[in-house]
């Protein structure tokens, strides 16, 4: 998957590719949970993680990408492979999507978040995601972030289960606080 990295003022934003070993690790961490799930790929970028979830049996995938051109590219790719019926491409930012999903009663089994590493998106979105009633009863939230920027142990109903480090990248798995 690729996501936006913030550039310096006046510079164009570029995509940061997720290493293949990290993407494979995402699905190793989620093993046994993806098949039959409602999967949300927040900050979808190219949509690679969501497409991988579809190939692993997710019954529905929500691709959330604020950049309208990238969202259109995801849609075109999905139409080309015949995967479009299981996909929902949403061109809006993560916060707006979470609020909309809550109003429309979407219950996600898995939420994968890979915002720009230099942003404060996880700090804003994790508590919002936790409090909006978007998560199914037995959910998994997996956040990809910079190893230099550790994530909280708890955020609302989210409790950190484990972190996995891959060089400069860390995947943090959250489940329901009991």
Mean pLDDT of the chain: 87
Strand residues in the chain grouped as ranges (E): 2-5, 14-17, 38-42, 60-64, 87-90, 108-113, 135-146, 154-155, 158-166, 169-176
User: pLDDT digit of tens for each residue in the chain (178 aa)?
Assistant: 333 333 333 334 455 555 578 889 999 999 999 999 999 999 999 899 999 999 999 999 999 999 999 999 999 989 877 676 789 999 999 999 999 999 998 999 999 999 999 899 999 999 999 877 899 999 999 999 999 998 999 999 999 999 999 999 999 999 999 8
What does pTM read for this prediction?
A: 0.88
> 61-75, pLDDT tens digit by residue?
999 999 999 999 999
Query: Under CATH, domain 17-176 is a member of which superfamily?
Result: Vaccinia Virus protein VP39 (3.40.50.150)
Rounded CA gap, 149 and 178, in Å?
25
């Amino acid at each position: 998957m690729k996501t936006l990295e913030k550039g310096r003022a006046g510079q164009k934003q570029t995509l940061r590719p997720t290493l293949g070993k990290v993407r494979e690790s995402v699905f190793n961490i989620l093993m046994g949970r993806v098949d039959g799930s409602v999967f949300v790929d927040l900050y979808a970028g190219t949509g690679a993680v969501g497409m991988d979830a579809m190939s692993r049996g997710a019954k529905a995938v929500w691709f959330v990408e604020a950049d309208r051109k990238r969202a259109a590219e995801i849609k075109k790719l999905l139409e080309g492979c015949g995967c479009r019926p299981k996909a929902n491409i949403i061109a809006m930012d993560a916060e707006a999507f979470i609020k909309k999903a809550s109003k429309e009663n979407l219950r996600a089994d898995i939420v994968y978040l890979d915002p720009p590493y230099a942003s404060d998106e996880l700090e804003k979105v994790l508590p919002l995601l936790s409090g909006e009633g978007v998560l199914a009863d037995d959910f998994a939230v997996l956040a990809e972030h910079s190893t230099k920027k550790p994530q909280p142990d708890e955020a609302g109903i989210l409790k950190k289960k484990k972190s996995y480090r891959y060089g400069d990248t860390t995947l943090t798995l959250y489940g329901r606080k009991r």
